[in-house]
Amino acid sequence: MGSSRLPILLSCCSLLLSFATLTLSAEDPYFECRYAEENKGNFTDKSTYQSNLNDIISQLSNLTDFNYGFHNLSAGGNPDKVFATALCAGDKTPNECRTCFNYTITKLIDRCPWGKEVVAWSQFCMVRYANRDIFAQLDSDPRTCAYNPTNASNPDVFNLALSNLLTNLSDEASTGGALRKYAADNTTDDPQQMIFAAVQCTPDLNQENCSLCLNFAMSELSKCCAGRLGCRVLRPSCVLRFETGSFFNLTAVVPLPSPPPSSTPSPPPPPPSTSATIGG
């Protein structure tokens, strides 16, 4: 993150961001960022909005709670308040999520500077910020996709197997609770070709909006990557990915807490029996 883009925050924060960038850059991870489709305006150097955004970056760099890979943040007050969310893939560890968040916000500031509403997706996490409240909002834009240039040898069979897999995963993810809406699995279109897929919504969405977001994402496959052997469909509220090689580790998924015991009160005891006397 160059000083010409945003001023240096705290020295400890800068070290964290630099370390994350060096660690992941060596692997050349996927990264993409987009400005909001509608013009949300820009902020200027040394503005109050920039100061609040710096606060968001500092918060992301110093996360202590894992919160199952999802964070809802804000800084400042209106009209320069900054709202942000960060989402990590459901099969990643707390350390992997923190590293990905730091890397992604660093690249976002470098590659998509000055916008008041920006979304960035990287190898296994997403970070977005805006000058409006984005919590629990179903947003379709900005969005993008990236695909494997190799085509399936039998696209009709491949697409049918993929569609069935994604439909099942969408149903599973959308019925997840308020802590995590993530599902991943694999299938095969023939004995030689495995398909691995994962879908995820930000868990602040309700079931209906998560399902809508993933359905929209699946509908984009025909425009972006039908018949391809791999693809990512990236939206602000949900993400979808499939490959012919495994890219997730379900054994690493952190278990969700057990539901609280039922608070239904026990039925009252039956009234004591009474003897009736007939006559007198």
- Domain range summary for the chain, segments of one domain joined by +: 32-135, 145-252
CATH superfamily of 32-135: Gnk2 domain, C-X8-C-X2-C motif (3.30.430.20)
Beta strands in 162-234 (DSSP E): 181-190, 193-201, 231-234
32-135 and 145-252 in the same fold: yes
Residue 261's pLDDT is 64
Residue 20's pLDDT is 30
Residue 259's pLDDT is 66
Residues 6+ apart with CB under 8 A from 61: 9, 13, 16, 17, 101, 102, 105
Fill in the DSSP letter of residue 69.
G
Cβ atoms within 10 Å, residue 243: 19
Q: Say what the alpha-carbon torsion angle 118, 123, 126, 129 is, to the nearest 10 degrees.
A: -30
Residue 126: name the closest of 24, 234, 25, 248 by CA. 234
Task: Give pLDDT < 50 ranges for the chain.
Answer: 1-28, 275-280
Residues 6+ apart with CB under 8 A from 43: 49, 50, 53, 114, 115, 116
Fold of 145-252: Killer Toxin P4; Chain A (3.30.430)
| Separation of alpha carbons 9 and 137, rounded Å | 30
Beta strands in 39-180 (DSSP E): 70-75, 82-88, 118-122, 125-130, 144-147
**Is the four-CA dihedral 244, 245, 248, 252 of positive or negative sign?**
positive
